[in-house]
């Protein structure tokens, strides 16, 4: 039979571990900016994987052009901004 002091010591250690885990879980819940960054990182990883998979499924000449465009993100941004401005102007003229 085990000594009551030993059993009590094991119970105290178990309670401390559980309390530590609870505090850690609460700290994670309260760290909203950290959770947002974590979720954003996970989303970027998923989207990058999905994009790579989609590019891999394209015919080789198209995939080559996309890879070429990836090396010049500023040019892509400029084209997207221009397209958005044109759409915005057209929508204002028609509205």
Q: Are 58 and 66 in contact (CB under 8 A)?
A: yes
- State CA 44 to chain mean position distance: 5
How do residues 7-57 score in pLDDT, each as one tens digit? 999 999 999 999 999 999 998 888 889 889 999 999 999 998 998 888 888
How much is the pLDDT for 22? Answer: 93
How much is the pLDDT for 1? Answer: 58
How do residues 25-35 score in pLDDT, each as one tens digit? 998 888 889 88
Would you list the domain boundaries of the chain? 4-94
Q: Across the chain, what does the average pLDDT equal? A: 88
What is the C-alpha R_g of the chain? Answer: 27
């Amino acid at each position: 039979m085990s000594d009551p002091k030993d059993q009590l010591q094991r119970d105290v250690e178990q309670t401390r571990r559980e309390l530590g885990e609870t505090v850690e879980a609460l700290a994670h819940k309260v760290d909203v900016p950290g959770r947002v960054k974590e979720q954003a990182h996970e989303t970027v990883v998923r989207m990058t994987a999905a994009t790579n998979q989609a590019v891999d499924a394209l015919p080789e000449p198209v995939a080559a052009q996309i890879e070429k465009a990836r090396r010049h993100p500023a040019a892509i941004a400029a084209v997207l901004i221009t397209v958005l401005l044109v759409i915005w102007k057209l929508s204002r003229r028609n509205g």
